[in-house]
Structure 1
Amino acid sequence: MNILMALSQREVTGAEVYATTVGNELTQRGHQVFYISDTLTKPHQGSFFKLRFNKRSIPRRFYHVGYLIYLIKKHNIQLVHAHSRASSWSCHIACKLTGTPMVTTVHGRQPVHASRKKFHAMGNKALPVCKAIEEQLMQDLGVAQEQLVVSRNGIETERFQIVPPPQNARPVITIIGRLTGPKGELCYRLLDTCLDLTKYDVRVVSGSKVEPRFDKFTDKVTFTGYTQDVPKMLSEADLVIGAGRVAIESLMCGRPTLAIGEASCIGIVTSDNVQQAMANNFGDIGPTDLDINFDAIANEVELGLQQKSCEIAVTDMVKASYDLSSVVDHIEQIYQDVYIDKLRREMPVIMYHRFIQDDTEKGVHSTYMHIKMFEKHLKLLKRMGFESLTFEDLAKDNVIRRLDPGKRHIMITVDDGYADNYHLMLPLLKKYGFKAVVYVVTGESFNRWDVENPENPENKVNLMSAEQVKALAESGVIEIAGHTMTHPKLDSLSRDQQYDEITQNKQQLEELIGKPLTSFAYPFGLCNQDTKEIVRDNGYQFAVATNSGPLHFHQDPYEIRRIGIFPRTDVFGLWRKVRGNYLFRKIKA
């Protein structure tokens, strides 16, 4: 996807670290990430555009919106991700005018005033970084819960490893954070009234300019300035004082950590209070702007210094909760939710069965397509600019690939494995440059499940031979996939019977084609929870149904909806079904 990260800041902030860390991971995953902000100092991959969001006069805001619209159109931006109040306001308007999906990560407690209550200006989803912000947005600003998703900070966990306690002559206490705003006030208070500066080696790490009021501490405190080597700086500390990302990274290094921020003091983080700490971003967010008992800080400092390291259980929990890869997985899910919800369009997954050459081959059931009409279908898809994907493609590159900018993707699936798939379908796929997923039944030589239907028996049609299945797999345009041994209604079978049908089919196909299968199709589109669990436990990464499952492709990889293509689906009918909004209109109707 093409993503625009929008910030408003004049110095290094946690929001910038968050945006660039997440943005770099998204870039590594193949997305194109752009940045727009007053300033941007952290290393980042992607173009940066300077815009003074903090200049908030009415003419300036009109200019901000106009420039954002220009960038959105010029760079085909598919989603805007804002990270501050000033940037989100302008982005919200620009996205409304261009129809662009938008999310806003909320990094801190929001000011409460009438205009903010009426005009949240956070786009389609607000992503508070902790539970306390979510609660404040609902209680104070009236943001609906369905518009909120908690999305934690993402930390490059591999950069932060547990380090042995330092061997310092005097205990080193490292305070990390801005020296401006509420954090600056907090730092000043800690230095002025809470810490014995003659007893400890106190170091203040900040990218902020040291204000004159801190001059009285300069002979007793080391103001180190900003550092790029955060792990080294943390490893030298006997105790780290900070909130948000500071506390998270410190705990990942195993350092005793006093979590104190703009709102509250959690104290030394232990297994007893780590959940509370995570809920309010390690002291940065609370029910009020300031709720700190400064008289207790000295005791907390001594308690922290008595610990050589924080608890392993705390480090493990923090690493699991803030792991960058897992956080970005979650963000990609949110991006897809918002993008599909906003545009009401999804990659079509269409379903064929068998192909005929003349009317004598028609069947009782509507599971056939004349090969001449199928060729017209492929011609239409070609004219519409579609490129086909298989589940093997998505397993290799991630399902979000289907939303690649400037692309129209489609998935062609074909059920049962009829012999005509080899004789009639394969040559046309090669001719028009499309790929398909073919779901193969291996325990039958013909369509016994339909022929022996007592209520509505079908004509006998041969399935592919093993040689033909192998030839499809080696064609370069077909993904062979699982479809059971005998094509039963799985939801009517016992768990053991389902297991045998699914497992034996997979083993036979993998032995035949010489590689693992990626996807499975439920016969008749029917499944239950047992079915889905067996499919997942067999190592399948995707499974398709027919008329069940979410409208969003990515929301349940084991129950993906498909669009049936029937004998009467002419060129116009196919056009209607593949435009992207067919299922949304159909389900709504």
Structure 2
Amino acid sequence: MRILHVLSAEFFAGSVAYAVQLAEAHRAQGHRVWLVSDAAQLPTGATLVPAPISNRRYGQRLRNARLIRRLIQAEDIQVVHAHSRAASWVSHLALRGLKVPLVSTVHGRQHLHASTSLFDIYGDKVIAICGNLREHLVAEVKMAAAKIVEIPNGVAFGNEKAPGVAVSSATGPPSELRIAFIGRFNGGKGERAAALLQQVFPVLLRELPALRVALIGGELEHLPEAGKTALAQLQAEFGERVEVVGFTRDVPGWLARTTLVIGAGRVAIEALGAGRAVLALGEATFEGLVTEATFGAAAASNFGDISARQAPSAVDFSAVLAAAWGYLQAPQPVTAALQQQVRAHYDLPTVSARVLEIYQVARMRKAVPAFIPVLMYHKIPDAPLATKHQIYVTKDNFAKHLAYFKARKLTPITFADYLSFAAGERPLSEFPARPIVLTFDDGYTDNYTNLLPLMQQYGYRGVLYLLGDFDVRYNQWDLAADPTEPRSDIMDRAQKEAFVAAGWEIGAHTMSHPRLTTLPLPEAAQEIARSKAALETALHTSVVSFAYPYGDLNEPVKETVRAAGFALGVATDTGGLTIEDDRMQVFRINMFPNESTSSLFKKTSAWYRKYYRWKRGK
């Protein structure tokens, strides 16, 4: 994709590090990336365009918007990603009348005044970096919940390094006892630093003669006056034991030399990921020592930086002192389980993939806002079947379906086609005016003998959902439930390969066709992941979509499908109004033996999903 980030970057804050790491992660995958920023230099190989985004004067906002609009048009930008309210404002102005989507990441609480709720300038999708922030946007800013997705900051741990902002794992305990405040020294964080200098650090330095205190972060000149006075007194009393580091790009080095970190947001994430203990103290709350038990609540507040509702932000610094004193008296290493928990939650490749998906979602919502009919077929036999399961359409009737689609100028596409448009690999100008997706489950032999020739006759392709276990050669799950059901054979490998050769998309349908929600989740995960790997290996094709057997799913199963690497999960008669409402639960329409012209018209109409939801309350 061709991605433009717009950000306020008067200093290297966490939001700037987030944007830079996203840019680098996406560049590494082959995407083209531009950044419009206050800063003339940033640690990124993306194309950097300086502009005073932080300047909120109306004249400058208009000049910024014109610059961004010219850049979008000149470089054929496909998505704009804003990282502050100021950036969202100018991006919103720049995009007026264009079909380019705007995604905004909200990094902190928004000011609660009338214009915040009345003028939604955040764009097509909004990324909230933590749970409290999502709640704030819905409950207080009055933002539509459907447009918000919660995705945490991505951090490069271990070998996945982004220039200038990477984190390495600390090796063993530090040689010196050191407590470090890491963060900005202006605004709310500056007030916290001042209180630490006045109420916490003097006591610790006096009681622990081996202790050193490090102050790490930018904007030190903006530390409140009370903090500057307290700092001067500490330096006079304790000399070199008070280390005023200021801004540094060597945060990993300082983490390796630190016993206990006091900080919030990205600082806390990086420290925990590097195996260093953290007292989570932010602009909103004091979350205390982060442990496996407290990680969830601490992460929801971005480690103390963000409250879900407007509330006083007073902190009891005697509690901070007690927690620091208790830990420094008997330091304990961060557990491997906690470190892994943090690294998994904030893993940059996972986060960057989710953000890229949001870009695609926003792009397709803007370009294709209507419902795309996705039809679900199974067997295409020569004659009607004696079965209580009405999951077949005879060869002759299916031929009538295809003739109907042709007459109504419906264009069958695959999900792989859809994703190539979403990813910007194909121009949206080529997206069909009346798309339809034809899907076929299980891979019955009559799909090869009857379905494939008919589809080829019309020049159509579809999506074939197959089991990963090629030794399953008939509908054994039906017979296991009811031995009176007729046996229906499943294609052999060569017949399945014929569909790949014909340009069909192959999707996964588990290994053995179980009801996934009845299985232990690890077993369900094996059914899902193994089916993808088996099909890709056997048929030498990319498998991007998954069909839930029986349409049986729940939220844990959906997340397991996403984690297995599928871009889409297709359901049966459940799901959103459009594909982009929920990519892991795409609504499919059951097709039955005796579909009429009237029912075909209804089921292939753009209004059908709303009609279905209204009629059945789904």
Same fold at TM > 0.5: yes
Partner of 1:321: 345
Partner of 2:54: 54
Secondary structure at the aligned position of 1:141 is classed as coil
Report if aligned partners of 2:260, 2:279 keep a CA contact under 8 Å in 1.
yes
Distance apart, 1:152 and its partner CA = 1.6
Which of 186, 191, 194 aligns to 1:180? It is 186
Report if aligned partners of 2:8, 2:86 keep a CA contact under 8 Å in 1.
yes
* Residue 165 in structure 1 maps to residue 173 in structure 2: yes
C-alpha spacing 1:193/1:515, structure 2 compared with 1 (3 Å): same
C-alpha spacing 1:438/1:64, structure 2 compared with 1 (3 Å): same
Which of 291, 294, 303 aligns to 1:282? It is 303
Distance across 2 between alignment mates of 1:547 and 1:48: 47
* Residue 331 in structure 1 maps to residue 355 in structure 2: yes
Distance across 1 between alignment mates of 2:196 and 2:295: 22
What does 1:13-412 correspond to in 2, within 5 Å? 13-39=13-39, 41-158=41-158, 159-161=167-169, 163-168=171-176, 171-196=177-202, 199=209, 200-208=211-219, 210=221, 214=228, 216=232, 217=235, 220=240, 221-286=242-307, 287-288=310-311, 290-306=313-329, 307-343=331-367, 344=369, 366-368=397-399, 404=425, 406=427, 408=430
Gaps of 5+ in 1: 357-361, 445-461, 496-502
For residues 420-445 of structure 1, give each alpha carbon's deviation from its aligned partner in whole angstroms, at most 9, with x where no partner exists: 6666765986xxxx86545689659x
Distance apart, 1:468 and its partner CA = 6.6
Secondary structure at the aligned position of 2:86 is classed as helix
Report if aligned partners of 2:414, 2:504 keep a CA contact under 8 Å in 1.
no
Partner of 1:454: none
Distance apart, 1:583 and its partner CA = 6.8
Distance across 1 between alignment mates of 2:402 and 2:284: 69
Distance across 1 between alignment mates of 2:258 and 2:508: 56
Distance apart, 1:172 and its partner CA = 1.6
Q: CA-atom RMSD, angstroms?
A: 5.1
Distance across 2 between alignment mates of 1:241 and 1:482: 47
Distance apart, 1:522 and its partner CA = 8.8
C-alpha spacing 1:547/1:191, structure 2 compared with 1 (3 Å): closer
Report if aligned partners of 1:78, 1:405 keep a CA contact under 8 Å in 2.
no
Report if aligned partners of 1:354, 1:368 keep a CA contact under 8 Å in 2.
no
Distance across 1 between alignment mates of 2:46 and 2:291: 39
For residues 81-118 of structure 1, give each alpha carbon's deviation from its aligned partner in whole angstroms, at most 9, with x where no partner exists: 22112111222233343243323222122222232232
* Residue 561 in structure 1 maps to residue 585 in structure 2: no
Distance apart, 1:7 and its partner CA = 1.0
C-alpha spacing 1:421/1:124, structure 2 compared with 1 (3 Å): closer
Partner of 2:503: 477
Secondary structure at the aligned position of 1:163 is classed as coil
Which of 399, 413, 419 aligns to 2:449? It is 419
Distance apart, 1:521 and its partner CA = 7.0
AA at the equivalent of 1:163: T
Report if aligned partners of 1:355, 1:370 keep a CA contact under 8 Å in 2.
no
Distance across 1 between alignment mates of 2:509 and 2:275: 50
Distance apart, 1:52 and its partner CA = 0.9
For residues 157-210 of structure 1, give each alpha carbon's deviation from its aligned partner in whole angstroms, at most 9, with x where no partner exists: 335436311122xx2222211223222333233234421357432222224464
C-alpha spacing 1:464/1:150, structure 2 compared with 1 (3 Å): closer
Please identify, of 539-548 and 252-261, the stretch whose mean Cα deviation from structure 2 is larger.
Answer: 539-548
Distance across 1 between alignment mates of 2:143 and 2:553: 35
C-alpha spacing 1:418/1:377, structure 2 compared with 1 (3 Å): farther
Distance across 2 between alignment mates of 1:540 and 1:211: 46
Report if aligned partners of 1:256, 1:269 keep a CA contact under 8 Å in 2.
yes
Report if aligned partners of 1:414, 1:439 keep a CA contact under 8 Å in 2.
yes
Gaps of 5+ in 2: 159-166, 383-392, 467-471, 476-487, 520-526
AA at the equivalent of 2:348: L
Distance across 2 between alignment mates of 1:192 and 1:68: 45
AA at the equivalent of 2:191: E
Distance across 2 between alignment mates of 1:96 and 1:211: 38
Report if aligned partners of 2:4, 2:36 keep a CA contact under 8 Å in 1.
yes
Distance across 2 between alignment mates of 1:143 and 1:372: 45
AA at the equivalent of 1:404: E
C-alpha spacing 1:135/1:65, structure 2 compared with 1 (3 Å): same
Please identify, of 415-424 and 105-114, the stretch whose mean Cα deviation from structure 2 is larger.
Answer: 415-424
Distance across 2 between alignment mates of 1:29 and 1:201: 43
Report if aligned partners of 1:345, 1:584 keep a CA contact under 8 Å in 2.
no
Distance across 1 between alignment mates of 2:193 and 2:38: 25
Distance apart, 1:402 and its partner CA = 5.3
Please identify, of 11-20 and 41-50, the stretch whose mean Cα deviation from structure 2 is larger.
Answer: 41-50
C-alpha spacing 1:65/1:568, structure 2 compared with 1 (3 Å): farther
AA at the equivalent of 2:143: V
Distance across 2 between alignment mates of 1:253 and 1:363: 61
TM-score, length basis structure 2: 0.68
Secondary structure at the aligned position of 2:173 is classed as coil
Distance across 1 between alignment mates of 2:584 and 2:548: 13
AA at the equivalent of 2:212: D
Distance across 1 between alignment mates of 2:288 and 2:548: 54
Report if aligned partners of 1:332, 1:400 keep a CA contact under 8 Å in 2.
no
What does 1:518-557 correspond to in 2, within 5 Å? 518=543, 527-528=551-552, 549-553=575-579, 555-557=582-584
Distance apart, 1:125 and its partner CA = 3.5
C-alpha spacing 1:267/1:425, structure 2 compared with 1 (3 Å): closer
C-alpha spacing 1:96/1:238, structure 2 compared with 1 (3 Å): same
Report if aligned partners of 2:190, 2:222 keep a CA contact under 8 Å in 1.
no
Report if aligned partners of 2:153, 2:346 keep a CA contact under 8 Å in 1.
yes
The count of corresponding residues between Structure 1 and Structure 2 is 526
Report if aligned partners of 1:340, 1:552 keep a CA contact under 8 Å in 2.
no
C-alpha spacing 1:584/1:528, structure 2 compared with 1 (3 Å): closer
C-alpha spacing 1:202/1:481, structure 2 compared with 1 (3 Å): closer
AA at the equivalent of 1:184: G
For residues 280-321 of structure 1, give each alpha carbon's deviation from its aligned partner in whole angstroms, at most 9, with x where no partner exists: 211212344631223443333222323232344433332332
Secondary structure at the aligned position of 1:326 is classed as helix
Distance across 2 between alignment mates of 1:470 and 1:583: 32
Give percent identity, aligned residues only: 29
Please identify, of 366-375 and 150-159, the stretch whose mean Cα deviation from structure 2 is larger.
Answer: 366-375
Secondary structure at the aligned position of 1:33 is classed as strand
Distance across 1 between alignment mates of 2:453 and 2:396: 21
Report if aligned partners of 1:240, 1:256 keep a CA contact under 8 Å in 2.
yes
Distance across 2 between alignment mates of 1:112 and 1:371: 55
Distance across 2 between alignment mates of 1:264 and 1:239: 18
